Amino acid sequence: MRGRLAVLLAVSVVFVSMGVDAGRAANPPNPVDLLPHATPVKLTGGEWPFYGHDLSNSRSGGTSGPSIAQAPFLEPVWSFQSTNGDFVGTPLELGGKVVALSGGGSVFALDASTGRLLWKRNLAKPADSTPAIADGMVFVPLAIPNGPKLVALSLTDGSVKWTSVLDRQKGADLFGSPTVWNHTVYIGISGQNGDPTLPLRGSVVAVNEGNGDKVWETFAVPPKFNGGAVWSTPSIDAATGHLFVGTGNAYSAPAASTTDAMLELNARTGALLHSFQATSNDVFSSNNPVGVDFDFGASPNLIAAGSRKLVGEGQKSGTYWALDRSTMKPVWSQAVGPGSALGGIIGSTAYDGHRIYGPVTPGGEQWALSPDGGVDWASADGGPLHFSPTSVANGVVYTADDSGFLTLREASTGAILDKVPVGGMTYGGVAIAGEYVFVAVGTQSSSGYVVAYRADPPAAP
């Protein structure tokens, strides 16, 4: 690890942040002012079009990004400051464009290599998640209580193609992000601020990509039951056409058997195929805190243990569950930390074919599990509450959290390779594409940044 604190005290860099007027005060600090900046290069190869990177929610950039040897030399290339709230989702990249959604409902498309603003669309509604890019469009979730919406924009110029109201239940809201398969957009419905006016049933909604018409909506709990919010991003097995998603606790008794559960749906019809409940009788809300509040809030990963196809997901109990995809019966489970209402595992996990990587939310540690459930490593450094998702690429694990640092670890051992100051608290997540690493800075405050990094090792003498 490099001596970042010494660098911070010594360096004085003059750098014009893309999208920020001269003299405008940055709040939080502009990340490009915290370190010497790397030489810009044209981004080639790699993509990150969904919150989870792909239909499997792997949050893996593959061979993109710096190698283990290059990781200690990560430096900022450009930053872009939001003009309408900060950034709380994962930045997306496709075809040389970075797309980011601000908390005030503005969508920004940037040149991935330079940070230059290509277009902006202000939808003027609250947002707290990540869009999705597919088939020349950007699908933007808007967290509008009692009527959450999905808006389709042109990736070329940001023009609005259609707007769809996803659910009209009183208290309905959304926090998760969409994914796209077979010309259909899929997204979960949750409750307002996690504690909605009842009755409220969580659901998964499928929307026609071309016109925004609702294809189906499947509720997580039966009529006359409450809860089962879907906080996370669905994963889809394209080979079978099956969709996997986790659900939250019940809001009032009795608790349905599909609360605190992992569900398997037919992605074409919405039919519930199988389910697995990890915690029964969990009834929890601010005015009825009876249960333990052990939602499945992290997004599910499609993983493989040898020839066996599994779906895995972290729970707020502190346990990561791996189920057989065809039966939704447990194959293994592993407790990685304590459970709590704040979350045992609430930040989404990553999978690179070798290990599953994720956080322990209360203590701020990181861990890695083998595909058969063994603990490969667990960090001992700890930190603040860790709500952010984990990402991985090219043998390097990435996390950014409330400590104000982007942490890079060696995927095989968990050893810290670098800690890069990003200038503020963040839970938006990290995307890796080509040579670049993109980080969102913000935790629902007034202003934040998207910042691009790349490794810039010193020239050989």
Quick: pLDDT tens for 236-259. Answer: 999 999 999 999 999 999 999 999
- CA-to-CA distance for 165 and 148, rounded, in angstroms? 6
CA distances from 405 to 31, 89, 400, 402, 419 (A): 10, 16, 6, 8, 6
The answer to whether residue 162 scores a pLDDT higher than 50 is: yes
At residue 363, φ and ψ (nearest 5 deg) are -100, -10
pLDDT more than 70, % of the chain: 93
Of residues 227 and 9, which shows the higher confidence score? 227
The answer to whether residue 8 scores a pLDDT higher than 70 is: no
Query: How much is the pLDDT for 157?
Result: 98
Closest C-alpha among 34, 41, 38 to residue 13: 34
At 426-459, the pLDDT tens digits run 888 999 999 999 999 987 677 899 999 999 887 6
Query: How much is the pLDDT for 195?
Result: 67
Q: Return the structure tokens found at 68.
A: 């283990």
Query: How much is the pLDDT for 76?
Result: 97
- CA-to-CA distance for 323 and 315, rounded, in angstroms? 13
Among 189-203, 274-288, 364-378, name the one with the lowest average pLDDT: 189-203
Provide Rg for the chain, Cα atoms. 21
- CA-to-CA distance for 278 and 264, rounded, in angstroms? 14
Over residues 11-26, mean pLDDT: 32
pLDDT class of 304 with cuts at 50, 70, 90 = very high
The answer to whether residue 139 scores a pLDDT higher than 70 is: yes
At 76-108, the pLDDT tens digits run 999 999 989 999 899 999 999 999 999 999 999
At 333-343, the pLDDT tens digits run 999 999 988 88
- Residues 6 or more apart whose CB falls under 8 angstroms from that of 8 comprise 34, 35, 421
Over residues 323-336, mean pLDDT: 98
Query: How much is the pLDDT for 461?
Result: 57
Query: How much is the pLDDT for 363?
Result: 84
Query: How much is the pLDDT for 444?
Result: 66
Question: What mean pLDDT is reported for the chain?
Answer: 91
Among 9-23, 54-68, 243-257, 344-358, name the one with the lowest average pLDDT: 9-23
Q: Residue for token digits 């810290």? A: 416
**pTM of the predicted protein model:** 0.93
Give 409: exposed, middle or buried? Use CB within 10 Å, 0-12, 13-18, 19+. Answer: buried
Yes or no: say if 190 and 247 are a contact pair by the CB < 8 Å rule: no
Q: Return the structure tokens found at 427.
A: 């839970």
At 384-408, the pLDDT tens digits run 888 899 999 999 999 998 889 999 9
The answer to whether residue 367 scores a pLDDT higher than 90 is: yes
Query: How much is the pLDDT for 307?
Result: 92
pLDDT class of 69 with cuts at 50, 70, 90 = very high
DSSP annotation of 39: P
CA dihedral 106, 112, 118, 124 (to 10 degrees): 0
The answer to whether residue 116 scores a pLDDT higher than 50 is: yes
The answer to whether residue 1 scores a pLDDT higher than 50 is: no
Over residues 321-328, mean pLDDT: 98
pLDDT class of 22 with cuts at 50, 70, 90 = very low
